Amino acid sequence: MSAPSSALSAAAATAPTPQETLLSAPDGALHCKIFANWQDEDEAIKNGKFASLHDEEGVLAIFCDGSASAPYNEQGDCWTGCSAVYRKPGTAEWVKNGKPLPHFKRSGPAEVAGLDLALEVGLDKVAEHPAVRAISVVKVFTDYMPVLDVLQGLAVAGQDGSPATVLHRLPKETMQSIVDRDMVLARQYGVTVELYWVKSHKGVPGNKIADRVAKDYRPDRLEPDNYPVPSRGPARSKAARQQKAQRKDSEMRAAQAIMAEEHGEEADRADKDKFFAGMVPESERLRMEAEKEKPEEKPKDDIDLEMDALMRDLARPPPW
């Protein structure tokens, strides 16, 4: 087993247990706009697909995500990672950013870190050419609603002119970093930040890529020998199901043999068919059930067709 890299060793440190803490906007108000309505999944999916496919002048669309492995110890700790990705304007190439994180007991803190990373990426892109002002809006898409709920609460708290504060139980430093980056983008660069909720696992290209990158940056994916995850139960269950299927097959063959011996070669075919009706080998039954569980392939909608066209030929030069 090789020695863990210093970066991963630091990332794999134990994360503090979340406590209820106060989040405040440094200049009294939250500047970003939040578009999060979990009751309107279709609209969220449409917005995410549109941002994945289309270039909007002056807009940088970033998709972020967080990922957690299966628990690797009895305390329920998981290896985690986060990501922030965006498509280069005028191309089908995605810029993929990610980093390993301290271990948590769930993926939520990694999702929050993903949003913070997205704003960090956005700030870096804006700062590359501050005089050009090529980017006026940074859109960030996340599938983690709790972080948007907290930020929405902070935005509402500051609407009456009083200092914006809100209590929450998400990672304190990361949440404060999100608010601070929002302030820098707004105050220093005049950039509007828009935060969007997007439904996960619904075919949104940016969300799918962010999900994959977040997984790839987990310590157990980067250095599996140094950060192993024990075999999960479902793998053992699959082997047990296969053994059970083999036993069922053997029982069926035995029953067929007994039936043939009792009825003889000249036995009434109808009786034998009736006896064996529904006696499908267990292995075949499991295969048929698996086929039924496969999701039906839906016809591609206009957005998917546009994505195919985009991947084939995008030649417009980027605006920055």
**Does 14 reside within a domain?**
no
State mean pLDDT over 53-75: 95
56-65, 138-147, 302-311: the lowest-pLDDT one: 302-311
SS3 category, 287: helix
Is the domain of 98 the same as that of 148?
yes
State mean pLDDT over 14-25: 71
Q: Catalogue the E-assigned strands of the chain.
A: 21-24, 33-35, 59-68, 78-87, 94-104, 137-142, 165-168, 192-197
Residue 47 vs residue 28, higher pLDDT: 47
State mean pLDDT over 131-155: 91
Specify whether the CB–CB gap between 111 and 44 falls below 8 A: no
**Does 179 reside within a domain?**
yes
pLDDT of residue 311: 61
Q: Which domain holds residue 246?
A: 233-280
Is the domain of 139 the same as that of 114?
yes
Is the domain of 154 the same as that of 177?
yes
Domain edge (last residue) among 246, 263, 280: 280
State mean pLDDT over 251-276: 53
Rounded to the nearest integer, the mean pLDDT of the chain is: 80
pLDDT in tens, 168-215: 889 899 999 999 999 999 999 999 999 999 999 999 999 999 999 999
**Does 6 reside within a domain?**
no
pLDDT of residue 231: 72
159 falls in which pLDDT band (50, 70, 90)?
A: confident
Q: What are phi and psi of 101, to 5 degrees?
A: -130, 170
pLDDT in tens, 88-137: 999 999 999 999 998 888 899 999 999 999 999 999 999 987 766 789 99
Is the domain of 172 the same as that of 199?
yes
